[in-house]
A and B are shown apart, each in its own frame.
Chain A
Amino acid sequence: MEVLKFLLPPFVASLAITGIHVYLGLHVVERGVIFVDLALAQMAALGVTVGFLLGYGLHTPASFWWSLGFTLMGAFIFTFTRKYKAKIPQEAFIGIVYAVSAAASILAMSQAPEGTEHLKDMLVGNILTVSWSEIGKIFLIYALIGLFHWLFRRNFILISTNSQQAQKKGISLHLWDFLFYLSFGLVVSYSVSIAGVLLVFSFLIVPSVCAMLFSEKIGMRLALGWVLSTLVSITGIALSYFLDLPTGATIVCTFGLVLILCVLLKFAYQSMAK
C-alpha cells in the first residue's frame, strides 16, 4: 500500500498532463510545428534563468512571472513567423528560437555559480517528487485553459487545420495564433517544471501521432490519444518501479515502444485489408 501511496502523485500528475497535452499535441502535429514546445519551454526556462540572475530564486512566484513574460515573447514571435504561403518554413524559426534561447540561458548561467546544475534540472525534471499542491495547481490551470479552448474550439481547430478557410470567415489569424501559442506556452512551462522537457515532448507528440495513424476525426483521435497516454503512464511508472529505473526516462521509452507497436499494427491492418 505504501508503494501505491507513493506512486499515486506521479500517476495523477501524468493524467493531468495527458488531458491537456494530447489535445494540444493534435494541434501541434496538424500545424507541423512539432518542436514548438521545446522552443517555448526553452523560452520559459530562459525567463527563469534571467530572473534567477536578477535574484529571484527558482520555484518562487517572481520566477514564474519571469518565465511567463518570456513565454509571451515566444508566443508573439511564433504568431508573426507563421507566413501562410512563405518560402521559409516555420520550423526554421522554431529551431532558431530554441537554439538562441538555449544559448542565451547558457550565457546567463555562466554568470551564476551553480549554473550547470540548474540548467540540467530544467531539462530533466523529476515527476516522482511532484507534490499534491503542485498537482492541484496544474490541474486548475490546465482546466481553465482547456475550458478556454473548448469554448472557442471552432476557431482554434479551424486555424490549425485550415487557415485559408479561417481567413475567409474573417477570423483574425494573428489574434488566434497568439492566443494558441500563449495558452500552449503556459501549459508547457508548468508541465516542464514538473516533468522536464523530454517527458512533456513525449506526452504531446506520441499519442497524437499514434492516434492519427488510426483515425481522421478529431474526437476519435483525442479519445485514442487519451487512452494510449494513460496506459503508457501506468505501464511506464510500473516498469520504473519494478525494474528500478528513473521514472521520467522510462515513460519516454515506453512511449517510443508503443509508437513502434502502433506502426506495426497499422501495417498489419493495411496488408490484411488488401
Chain B
Amino acid sequence: MIAVGLELEITWLPVLVKDSRNSKLLSSKGYLEVASGCNILEKPTGQISRAAGDIHPFGNPHFWLDPNNGKIMAQSITNKLSELDPANTNFFQSNLDNFVKRLAEKQKEWENLITPYRGTKIVTYHNSWPNFAKYFGLEVIGYVEPKPGIPPSPSHTLELIQLMKSLNVKIILMEPYFDVKTPKSIADKTGAKVVVLPPSVGGEKEISDYFSLFDYDLKLLIQAFKETEVKK
C-alpha cells in the first residue's frame, strides 16, 4: 500500500486498511507513506485548531507537485519494493535510474518553458499549490477560499479583489473538483482568468503518468499567461 501521508487520506484510508483485514497492510512493512523524506512546506508552528478549517497539522500535503519531491518519492518506493522483494533489487534500481534520468530531462524542459514567467503573481483556490508555485517560481498572493470547506466572507473576497487589481494578478488557479462559480465571479471582477489544473495523475485522460501531469498543467498555465499577457 502506497499512501501520500501527512493526513491527506486521514478520513478514509485508515478505516479502509483496517477493514481490509489484510495483515500485510496493517503491519508497517507493507505500508508506505511517500511523504517521508520529502521537502514539506508549511509545517505548522504553535496552536492548531479546527477554527482554521480543514488544515493539515503535519504540513501541506500537496508536496508531489514539486518534481524534486517526485525523485525522493521514487527512491522511497524503490527502497520499499527492494525490502519486500530483495531478489529483484537490481530490477527496481534500474527502473528508478530510468525514472530519475527521464525526470531530470523533463525538469530541464519544464524549467525552460516557465523561465519567462518566473515571478508571476497568482491566486489559488485553496492553499494546495505551494510546492508547485515554489518550484516553478510563481508567487501566490492569496486564496479564494482560505479556510477549506468554509465559504469565504465578503470582506475577504473584497480584499482579494482589491489586491488582485492593485498587483495586476490575472490568473486564478484551481482544481477541477471545486465549484468554479466563486473563482469565476472574482475573475469577472478583476479581468483575470480561471485556470483549472488537475493536481494528480488520472485527472484527465492525457495525464497517464507523473511526467504528463506537469506537461499538461504547464501547457494550460502558459497558454493562460499568454492570453492574459501578464507582466511580472
Contact = CB atoms under 8 A, between A and B. Distances in A.
Contacts of B182: 126, 128-129
15 contacts: A10-B154, A58-B179, A113-B177, A121-B179, A128-B185, A129-B184, A129-B185, A131-B188, A244-B153, A246-B150, A246-B151, A246-B152, A246-B153, A247-B151, A248-B151
Interface string A1-20: 01100110010000000000
Nearest to B189: A6
Given A113-B177, A114-B176, A126 B188 contact: no
Interface string A248-272: 1100000000000000000000000
Interface string A118-134: 10010010101111000
Interface residues of A, number: 29
Contact of B185 (A113, A121, A131, A249): A131
A126 B182 CA distance: 7
Interface of B: 150-158, 161-162, 176-179, 181-182, 184-186, 188-189
A241 interface: yes
B177 A245 contact: no
B154 A6 contact: yes
Given A126-B181, A129-B182, A131-B185, A2 B151 contact: no
B185 A7 contact: no
B179 A128 contact: no
Interface in A211-256: 237, 240-249
A2 B153 contact: no
Residue among A10, A129, A242 with the most chain B CB within 10 A? A129
Looking at chain B's contact residues, the main secondary structure is helix
A244 B177 contact: no
A209 to B, nearest CB: 26
A117 B161 CA distance: 24
A85 interface: no
Given A128-B152, A246-B153, A117 B178 contact: yes
Given A121-B181, A126-B181, A7 B154 contact: yes
Given A2-B162, A131-B188, A240 B176 contact: no
A59 B181 contact: yes
Given A2-B162, A129-B157, A131-B185, 7 more contacts: A117-B178, A128-B151, A129-B186, A241-B155, A246-B150, A246-B152, A247-B153
